[in-house]
Amino acid sequence: MALRTFISRTARPLAIAAVALLTLSLFTVAQIGPAFAHGERAQTANLRMRTINWYDTEVSPKQVAVGDEMVIRGRFETSKYWPEHVPSVTGRVYLNVGAAGPKFIKIKSTINGKSMFQSSQLELGKHYEYEIILKARVPGRFHLHPVLNVLDSGALIGPGYWVDTTGSFADFSNTVETMFGRTIDLETFNLDIIYSWHALWFVMALAWLGFWGRKSPLLIQSLRRVRQKEEAGEDPDTLISPMEKKVAVGFMVVTLMIIGAGFQWAEARHPVTTPLRTAKMDVDPLPLPDPNIIIEYGGATYRIPGRSFQAEFSVTNNGPSPVRIGEFLTANLRFINSAVRNVQPADSHDLVASDGLRIEGGPVPPGETRKLKMFAEDALWETYRLTTMINDPDSIVAGLVFFYGDDGSREIVEIGGPMIPVFE
Amino acid sequence: MAVTETTEVRSSALGLRLERHVDWMIIIILILIIGAASGFTLAVTMGDWEYWVDWKDRRFWPLVPPVLMMIFPAAVLGITWTKLRIPFGATFAVFSYTLLKWVSLYFNFNVFAGFPMSMVWQSTFIPLAILLDATIVITGSVFITGFVGAFLWGVLMYPVNWVMLAGFHEPILYNGELVTAADLMGFEYIRTGLPEYVRMIERSTLRSFADTVVPLTAVFAGFLCVLVFYVSWAAGTFLCRQTWVKKV
């Protein structure tokens, strides 16, 4: 009776608790919305400004159907001001894509033409050209970024662009041919074997559990029987009957036979297999001509109230034509000198300040050295949480300066050094 | 007199019915608790080897999962054998884990994250658990069960699961490179936070024993499983010594 009372008293609170938990779970699930960002603002300013400078990023086409291919390509420079305390690309690095899961599959990725199927290592202060070919898998609107995963540092994310995919996931297949001529669809490959093998062992498990659970009621009676044997000074092992031992032997034999047969079947079906690949790819930097522009960094300030970054440097032009600064790029933010270039944001999240760069000091004629003052001013500093650079312990900033010659040439130079915040 | 006998019979029938209800209640609760607890523990210790097909290698996959997987089944078997003389503890624990793990894999990795199930299937440990349970029935000895059953658990994990994995290790020539289907899935299906180099898998090393990898790993896994079995068994039998159990 006590047990009955216990059950009747606890059943209702347990049921209420279960319903409450289920309601809470459903409510939580209902609140889940799509993620529209990949943490590009989360990393410290210091890390974003002095690691990978992505430029010339291009995504095309930006509208595809399921099964169609698209390309992310561009270049990046590995900063020579890479923070000493942060493991760099000289260790191990992997070219990846920032996306909300496998909405696309990656068909091919290269750096300077070398396959990036495996990870690689790069040099600091060098330029590289990358290309990632994707195939659309799931319909929807997605924000895609190129990413470099750096061992022990994490994902260093490049600029992102919106891409629209139309069609139906049901139309997607991902077939590939093995070296033995077998065509397989990786979306469903081997699932029949996986499910069948698991189902077989589930049946065996249920048979084993059912055999030992055939005595009903089970738990309390078994506990009592063992207790009685122990209190009587007898061996509780005698509760196991000879028939039960025979059944156990049978289960053991059948299990071992199935394991052996399964292994032999797999060996016969796949006589040649290879281990997982772990090679490391070597890639050389882009061979660029000797620089015509030489910059001597003269310091920088960041004026917090005006969101104004100022840098001073002397520029020596050893090239054949006058050069002007058309762009300053840091942490994926592009500050454009509208007097030199017309660059508009490609979409709502393209980090371009079309008129965010002002230069004092004019063009630098060939063979001359001029002192220039650069003003990069835009709310993007605030929006993309780069104002936190004033909190960095070493207060060192870096970025790429794009020089444009009157003859249409372009030269990219990295600047970097200490930055002083201005608080007033 | 007749009334008393009838009452006793009714009371006895009611008691048996209640005990059956209690059995089912406890069994369902235990499936959820053991499945969830072992699922959580194993997810944070050996998760990646059990999620991703391109982590199932020849060195760490036959070693880490079976050793860690042994913890709960050995403890539960310790309890069901010493307290109940019901030798299905290991199978029950593995069955619960496997059942809930499939639910988790399907919803978390396939429905929510969008990975194909062929990339995120789990290994099976059920036959190993049956062997462990059967060993204790046949021998009645905890020592021999650990020495034989737990050793078989570690040694046989790879052949048991090779049935499902072998196809994924068939070579493919892809863009001029030799890869496996498992490698290709790891490359193609985008995992922004899980680059190739993060995988803890076999790298080339200087080897002896005629270049063998799996047999050596399997034997080593067997030895470790024996140790883990004894420790977990002891922990399970110790932790179930609550006083309320004696009063039932």
DSSP character string of A224-257: HHHHHHHHTT--GGGGS-HHHHHHHHHHHHHHHH
Cβ-Cβ contacts under 8 Å, A118 against chain B: 196
> Is B181 in contact with A186 (Cβ distance < 8 A)?
yes
What's the domain count of chain B? 1
Instruction: Tell me the nearest-neighbour CA distance from B227 into chain A, angstroms.
Output: 22
Q: Give residues with Cβ within 8 angstroms of A398, minimum separation 6.
A: A49, A50, A53, A79, A81, A330, A414, A415, A416, A417
Cβ-Cβ contacts under 8 Å, B126 against chain A: 201-202, 204-205
Nearest CA-CA partner of A4 in B245, B19, B27: B19
| Closest in B86, B197, B246 to A212, CB measured | B86
Name which of B10, B55, B137 to mutate to probe chain A: the one with the most chain A Cβ atoms within 10 A of its Cβ.
B137
- Residue range A45-180 forms a domain whose CATH class is mainly beta
Per-residue pLDDT of chain A (424 residues; tens, 9 = 90+): 455 666 667 777 778 888 888 888 777 767 666 555 566 777 788 788 999 999 999 999 999 999 999 999 999 999 999 998 899 999 999 999 999 889 999 999 999 999 999 999 999 999 999 999 999 999 999 999 999 999 999 899 999 999 999 999 999 999 999 999 999 999 999 999 999 999 999 999 999 999 999 988 888 889 899 999 999 999 998 999 999 999 999 999 999 999 999 999 999 999 999 999 988 888 999 998 889 999 999 999 998 888 889 999 999 999 999 999 999 999 999 999 999 999 998 888 888 999 999 999 989 999 999 999 999 999 888 888 888 888 878 888 999 999 999 888 999 999 999 999 888 7
| Closest in B82, B183, B193 to A276, CB measured | B183
- A6 touches B at CB < 8 Å: no
Judge if A45-180 and A293-422 fold alike in CATH terms. no
| Closest in B57, B130, B175 to A255, CB measured | B130
> Is A178 in contact with B171 (Cβ distance < 8 A)?
yes
Query: In this structure, what CATH number is given to the domain that contains residue B175?
Result: 1.20.1450.10
Chain centroid to CA A134: how far? 15
How far apart (Å, rounded) are the C-alpha atoms in residues A267 and B53? 18
- Residue range A293-422 forms a domain whose CATH class is mainly beta
Q: Alpha carbon of A158 to those of A74, A412, B205: distances in Å?
A: 10, 18, 35
- A253 touches B at CB < 8 Å: no
Name which of A95, A119, A180, A219 to mutate to probe chain B: the one with the most chain B Cβ atoms within 10 A of its Cβ.
A219
Domain enclosing residue B112, as ranges: 2-247
- B162 touches A at CB < 8 Å: yes
- B141 touches A at CB < 8 Å: no
Instruction: Tell me the nearest-neighbour CA distance from B51 into chain A, angstroms.
Output: 14
Nearest CA-CA partner of B49 in B126, B104, B122, B129: B122
Instruction: Tell me the nearest-neighbour CA distance from B140 into chain A, angstroms.
Output: 7
What are the sequence ranges of the domains in chain A?
Answer: 45-180, 191-269, 293-422
